[in-house]
Amino acid sequence: MSALFERVALIGVGLIGSSLARVLRRDHTATRIAACARSAQTLDAVRRLGLADETTDDPAAAAKGADLVVIATPLSAYAEIGRKIAPALRPGAIVTDVGSVKGVVIRDLAPLVPAGVHFVPGHPVAGTEHSGPEAGFAELFRDRWCILTPLPDTDPEAVAKVTALWESAGMRVATMAADHHDKVLAVTSHLPHLIAYTIVGTATDLGHDLESEVVAYSAGGFRDFTRIAASDPVMWRDIFLANREAVLELLQRFSEDLTALQRAIRRGEGDTLHQYFAHTRAIRRSIIEAKQA
Amino acid sequence: MSALFERVALIGVGLIGSSLARVLRRDHTATRIAACARSAQTLDAVRRLGLADETTDDPAAAAKGADLVVIATPLSAYAEIGRKIAPALRPGAIVTDVGSVKGVVIRDLAPLVPAGVHFVPGHPVAGTEHSGPEAGFAELFRDRWCILTPLPDTDPEAVAKVTALWESAGMRVATMAADHHDKVLAVTSHLPHLIAYTIVGTATDLGHDLESEVVAYSAGGFRDFTRIAASDPVMWRDIFLANREAVLELLQRFSEDLTALQRAIRRGEGDTLHQYFAHTRAIRRSIIEAKQA
C-alpha cells in the first residue's frame, strides 16, 4: 500500500501539530515529516521526541517537495507563512490548516495559494489546556470531530485525502461553509473561553488575601474555568480577533441573558431561576448521548 | 472504641447526604443512621441501597434521640425543618448542615435551635453534577475542604466532633466567619455556576438547527460548562437567592471585566487580550500545586 502522503510539512509543532506528527509516526510510517518552528527550543524538542525527519525554521524549506503542508501556528502567523511557502509549493500539493477560525484563513491564505495547489481549510476540534510539542499525544483526536471548509472550487480528491488523514487519527470528519463553522465554534468554543478567561481574571483581581482561599476552595466549580483559561494566550488572542463579529454578536446575547438572571436574583424571582436552570440540564444529556462528554 | 456518634439523623439524602451515609456505613459501623426525605422514591432508594437503619418522611422522627443531625436539603427547606426538629432535639445534640451559603443558614436556623443543643454550620466543598441518593459515593469528599462557620459561642467540643466526622471522610477542615465563607464561595462556586447556566442557556436558545452542531462540537470548551450547568436546579436557585448580595456584587465586577475584553475585541487591541489571557494562567498552576485540580 502506498503512503497517503509521502512528505508532510508541519508548519508549527505545538499541541495539535505534534499530536498529528505522533499519529503520522504511529500509522503512516512511510511518510516523511518536515517540521518547521520559529523557536530553537521547539525544534530541539521535536528532534528529542523524534517527531520529524527534518527540522527547520524556514517554512519554505519545509514545504519544498511536500505533498501535504499543514499550517498549525497561531492565526496571526498565517499570512506571512503563506507568502513564504507559496513559491516552494509543488503542483498538486495540498495545503491545509488546523486553525479555529476559518473565514479569515480563507481570506488571508486563499489568494496566496498558487494555481495547481489545493487548499483545504480544516479544524480538528480537539485540544487540552497545555501547549507545545511535549504536550501532544496521538490519542488527542480520537472520537472528536474535524471540520473541513473547502471552497466551492476545491478539488474533491484533495478533500478526500485530508479527510482520510484525520479519519486515520480517529476523527469524524464533517464539511461545512467557513462562515457557518465560525458561528458554530463561536458558541461551542470561543465564547466559553472568553467567559472562562474573564471569570478567572475577575477572581484573580480580588486581591492577594483572597487568592489562596480561591485556590483552596476551587473544587466548587471555579477550577473547571481555570483549566479552560490556562489555554495558550497567543492562540486565543488571535482567535478572538479573527472571529470578532460572531463572538461579539454572541456576547451580546450572553450579556442579555446574564442581565435577566441578575435581575431575577435581585428581585428574588426563584421561579425564573429554576426554570432557566432546569432547561440547561437537557443539553448535557444530549452531549453524553453523542459521546462528547 | 466508642462511636463518634451513636445516632445520626440525615435530613435530606441527595448527593451529599447519601455520600455521608456511605462514609458512615464504611467507617462508623457502630453508628445508627436515621434518614429523612420528603419523597417516597428517595426513601425507597435509601432502603434499597442500605444507607440507613430507619427511614421516615418526618424530620422530627429522624432527629429524635440523635446525637448528630445533618441537614442536607436545599436551603429553602431549612426553616421548616428547623421548626419541625426543634422539639425533638435532645440536650447535648449537635445540629450541622452542608449548605453552600452560611449567613442565611445562621439567620434562619440559629434562633430555632433550643438551648443546650449545639449548632455547627458547615459546608463540605465537594460535589458532582449528579443528584439524588444513587449519585453519592464515599470518596466524594476525599482531599476536598470542609468549611465550618461556628458562632462565637459555639461549644468547641461540638466543633471538634463535626471536624472529626469530615476528617474521617478524607476532608481537610477549615473554620471561618459565615460572611467570609459566603464571599469566598461566591467567587469559587456561585458565580461560576451562574455563568455556566447562562452560557448554556444562551447556546440552547440559538435554535434547534444549531443545537445538534453545538452538541457535536462541544469538545472545544462548551461541554465543561454543560457539566456545571447540569447541577441540581432547586439547590442552585436557593443558593443564588440566599447569597444574593455577594453574588450580585461579584457579577458587577465580572460584567465590567467582560465589557473591557469585549471592547478590546471590537477595537482589535491584541495586546490587551494577550496580557489578560497570560495573567490567568498562573492561578491554574496554583490550583495544581494545591492538589485541587
Q: Is B30 inside any structural domain?
A: yes
Q: Are residues A124 and A208 in the same domain?
A: no
Nine cell digits for residue B8:
445520626
Confirm or reject contact between A146 and chain B (CB < 8 A): no
Nine cell digits for residue A44:
530541539
Average pLDDT over residues A46-56: 98
Q: Are residues A220 and A268 in the same domain?
A: yes
Average pLDDT over residues A94-119: 96
E strands present in A186-244: none
What pLDDT was estimated at residue A95? 98
- Integer CA distances (angstroms), B62 to A184, B67, B275, in order: 52, 11, 56
Q: Which chain A residues have a beta carbon less than 8 Å from that of B257?
A: 198, 201-202, 205
Residue A123 φ/ψ, nearest 5 degrees: -150, 95
Average pLDDT over residues A41-67: 98
Per-residue pLDDT tens for B7-17? 999 999 999 99
Q: Is A38 inside any structural domain?
A: yes
Q: Which chain A residues have a beta carbon less than 8 Å from that of B204?
A: 279-280, 282-283
Length of chain A: 293
Cα separation, B153 vs B125, whole angstroms: 24
Where b means 16+ CB within 10 Å and e means fewer, B256-276 reads ebbeebbebbeeebbebbbeb
- The interface predicted TM-score of the complex, written ipTM, equals 0.90
Taking alpha carbons only, the member of B23, B64, B56 closest to residue B47 is: B56
Residues 101-130 of A with CB under 8 A from B: 125-127, 129
Q: Check A194 against B261: CB less than 8 A apart.
A: yes
Kindly list the strands in the beta sheet with B68-71, ordered across the sheet, starting from the edge strand earlier in the chain.
B54-56, B32-36, B7-11, B68-71, B94-97, B118-120
Q: Are residues B168 and B218 in the same domain?
A: no
Q: Is A160 inside any structural domain?
A: yes
Q: Are strands B7-11 and A122-124 parallel, antiparallel or unpaired?
A: unpaired
Q: Is B1 inside any structural domain?
A: no
Place B162 in a pLDDT band, splitting at 50, 70 and 90: very high
Q: Which domain holds residue B215?
A: 180-289
Q: Check A192 against B222: CB less than 8 A apart.
A: yes
| Residue bearing cell 435581585 | A266
Q: Are residues A195 and A251 in the same domain?
A: yes
Cα separation, A271 vs A115, whole angstroms: 61
Cα angle B15-B19-B25, degrees, rounded to a multiple of 5: 150
Confirm or reject contact between B215 and chain A (CB < 8 A): yes
Per-residue pLDDT tens for B259-292? 999 999 999 999 999 999 998 887 788 888 877 7
Asked whether the beta carbons of B62 and B36 are under 8 A apart, the reply is: yes
Q: Is B202 inside any structural domain?
A: yes
Cα separation, A281 vs B57, whole angstroms: 28
- The CATH number given to whatever domain includes residue B106 is 3.40.50.720
Residue A270 is given by DSSP the state H
Average pLDDT over residues A55-62: 98
Cα angle A164-A168-A172, degrees, rounded to a multiple of 5: 75
Contacts for A79 with CB less than 8 Å, ≥ 6 apart? A108, A109, A112
Out of A212, A219, A257, the one facing B202 most closely (by C-beta) is A257
How many C-beta atoms surround the C-beta of residue A269 within 10 A? 16
Our CA-based measurement puts residue B272 at a distance from the nearest CA of chain A, in whole angstroms, of: 9
Place A2 in a pLDDT band, splitting at 50, 70 and 90: low
Q: Are residues B144 and B229 in the same domain?
A: no
What pLDDT was estimated at residue B269? 97
Place B210 in a pLDDT band, splitting at 50, 70 and 90: confident
Q: Is A211 inside any structural domain?
A: yes
Cα separation, A81 vs A61, whole angstroms: 12
What pLDDT was estimated at residue B13? 98
Per-residue pLDDT tens for B213-257? 888 888 888 888 888 888 899 999 999 999 999 999 999 999 999
Kindly list the strands in the beta sheet with A118-120, ordered across the sheet, starting from the edge strand earlier in the chain.
A54-56, A32-36, A7-11, A68-71, A94-97, A118-120
Q: Determine if the pTM surpasses 0.80.
A: yes
**Of A176, A198, A225, the domain-final residue:** A176
- The CATH number given to whatever domain includes residue B236 is 1.10.3660.10
Per-residue pLDDT tens for A4-23? 999 999 999 999 999 999 99
AA identity, residue A112: L
Q: Are strands B122-124 and B145-148 parallel, antiparallel or unpaired?
A: antiparallel
Cα separation, A217 vs A215, whole angstroms: 6
Q: Check B276 against A201: CB less than 8 A apart.
A: yes
Q: Are residues B147 and B186 in the same domain?
A: no
Place B93 in a pLDDT band, splitting at 50, 70 and 90: very high
Max Cα separation, chain B? Answer: 69
How many C-beta atoms surround the C-beta of residue B279 within 10 A? 16
Q: Are residues A132 and A38 in the same domain?
A: yes
Q: Are residues B120 and B85 in the same domain?
A: yes
| Residue bearing cell 479555529 | A100
Closest residue, chain A, to B144 (C-alpha):
A219
Where b means 16+ CB within 10 Å and e means fewer, A72-108 reads bbbbbbbbebbebbbebbeeebbbbbbbbbbbbbbeb
Nine cell digits for residue B143:
482531599
Q: Check A218 against B126: CB less than 8 A apart.
A: no
Q: Is B284 inside any structural domain?
A: yes
Cα separation, A250 vs A240, whole angstroms: 12
Q: Are residues B219 and B102 in the same domain?
A: no
Out of B185, B227, B266, the one facing A217 most closely (by C-beta) is B185
* % pLDDT > 70, chain B: 99
Q: Is A2 inside any structural domain?
A: no
Checking if the pLDDT of A178 tops 60, the result is yes
Cα angle B126-B60-B123, degrees, rounded to a multiple of 5: 15
Q: Are residues B46 and B164 in the same domain?
A: yes
Asked whether the beta carbons of B55 and B43 are under 8 A apart, the reply is: yes
Cα angle B257-B261-B263, degrees, rounded to a multiple of 5: 115
Asked whether the beta carbons of A160 and A135 are under 8 A apart, the reply is: no
Q: Are residues B172 and B185 in the same domain?
A: no
What pLDDT was estimated at residue A23? 97
How many C-beta atoms surround the C-beta of residue B226 within 10 A? 29
What pLDDT was estimated at residue B224? 87
What pLDDT was estimated at residue B2? 67
**Of B176, B197, B218, the domain-final residue:** B176
**Of A130, A156, A176, the domain-final residue:** A176
Q: Are residues B80 and B186 in the same domain?
A: no
Nine cell digits for residue B51:
444507607
Number of domains within chain B? 2
Cα separation, A147 vs A259, whole angstroms: 34
Nine cell digits for residue A250:
454572541
Contacts for A136 with CB less than 8 Å, ≥ 6 apart? A14, A15, A16, A17, A18, A19, A20, A21, A22
Residue B121 is given by DSSP the state -
Per-residue pLDDT tens for B68-87? 999 999 999 999 999 999 99
